[in-house]
Structure 1
Amino acid sequence: MMLFLTLLSGLAWTLVYTDAIRVGFRDATYAIPIAALALNFAWEAIYAVHGLTEPFAAQTVVNIVWALADTVIVYTYVRFGRSEFSQFVSRAMFVGWGVLFFVASFVVQWLFVVEFDWELAPRYAAFLQNLLMSGLFIAMFVARRGLRGQSLLIAVAKWVGTLAPTILFGVIEGSPFILGIGLLCSVFDVVYIGLVLRATMGSLRLVAGANQR
């Protein structure tokens, strides 16, 4: 069961990242909010490298795949991200802000390791940044006023990708902290799925109506 849930989470998040790459290039934008993207990339890079120094584990392979996929999403942010901001944000400000986000994210992830060690740090950090991400996806939907740079596959796969380790660490291993944060993630994720589903159905009705004219 543990291996199944680990692989399910790995597959679901890989779908999130691959579809984020697809819709990012399709809509000329980035498909994961920058704060969440920076934290995810730092988490994956740190634990992928650390995993290579340890005995083989399925999660290490998953972390490497995620880090490689996130590298492409970071590229979409660098290439298209400035257009999401007002003209007040100069190129220098955009670059500086992005560098600050990524440097701060690596510092935060390393502080988790220092405080909680290699066993608990990845779990606590992952669930807290997932809760942040769940809220930021809703904020991104509202800010963009629709589906640009988003998809139903991303919404559903993100929920499944977080729900699987919630069951693993929160239920099977009995961590109240992870169970609570994981359930909060699910609340936000289901809300986001509802928003994306509603917008998707609305778009399909508009297309169907246009085709009937």
Structure 2
Amino acid sequence: MTLFLTLLSGISWMLVYIDCIRLGIKQKTYGIPLFALALNIAWEGLYSFLGLKLPIRIQTIVNIIWFIFDLIIVVSYFKYGKNDFPKSAKKYFIPFSILTFASCLALQLAFYWEIGYSHGPIYSAFLQNVVMSILFIIMLFHRNSKKGQSMVIAVAKWLGTLAPSILMGVVQGINVYVITCGILCSIFDILYIILLLNWNKIL
């Protein structure tokens, strides 16, 4: 069960990243909201590096693959992200973006230093997944279109968080924090799926 849920999470998020990259190239955009992207790549980079210092686990390999995919999305963000900035703020695009990535790295390091390797990545990951689920909905309405988004991304994102929520919140022992974050993610992810399915009716 542990291996299945770990692989389901890993493969689902890989599908998210691959489709984000595909649509980013095709539609000249980026598919993950800035703060979610910054938190993601900081988490993946940190725990890929730390994981290499321990006996290599499946999760470490998955983290490295996620990190590589996210690097490509970061390139897409810096290439096309200015288009989503208000006209009056476009000149601040680069410094604001750099500040955001640096701030998110600082937050991930703070989680690690304060909570440790065993629980730090779990608690930070689930919190940022709740934030990410909300940000995808905000991005959809901000763009007022499905540009850079797809049902593959929406469903895979939901499953990619649901699997570790079950694994770390139930299978490996009851964890109220993980269960709560998992439920919140599912609520917003399912809402996001419904919005995508009915977007043409909403407009």
Q: What TM bracket, shorter-length normalisation?
A: over 0.9
Counterpart in the other structure of 1:152: 151
Deviations 1:11-70 (A, max 9, x none): 000000010011111111111000000000000000000010000200000000000000
Partner amino acid for 1:113? Y
Counterpart in the other structure of 2:63: 63
Unaligned runs of 5+ in 2: none
Where in structure 1 do 4 or more consecutive aligned residues deviate above 2 Å? Answer: 199-203
Unaligned runs of 5+ in 1: 204-213
Contact 1:147/1:200, CA 8 A, preserved across alignment:
no
Q: TM-score, structure 2 length as denominator?
A: 0.96
Counterpart in the other structure of 1:9: 9
The 1-side partners of 2:69 and 2:99 are apart by 21
Partner amino acid for 1:19? D
The 2-side partners of 1:117 and 1:184 are apart by 25
- The higher radius of gyration belongs to 1
The 2-side partners of 1:149 and 1:118 are apart by 34
Counterpart in the other structure of 1:208: none
The 1-side partners of 2:108 and 2:176 are apart by 22
Compute the displacement of 1:201 (Å): 8.7
The 1-side partners of 2:200 and 2:164 are apart by 28
Compute the displacement of 1:200 (Å): 6.9
Deviations 1:52-92 (A, max 9, x none): 0000200000000000000000000000000111221233x
Partner amino acid for 1:75? V
The 1-side partners of 2:155 and 2:121 are apart by 23
Contact 1:159/1:186, CA 8 A, preserved across alignment:
yes
Counterpart in the other structure of 1:171: 170
CA root-mean-square deviation: 1.4
Percent identity reads: 46
Q: How many residues of Structure 1 are paired with residues of Structure 2 in the alignment?
A: 202
Contact 1:5/1:165, CA 8 A, preserved across alignment:
yes
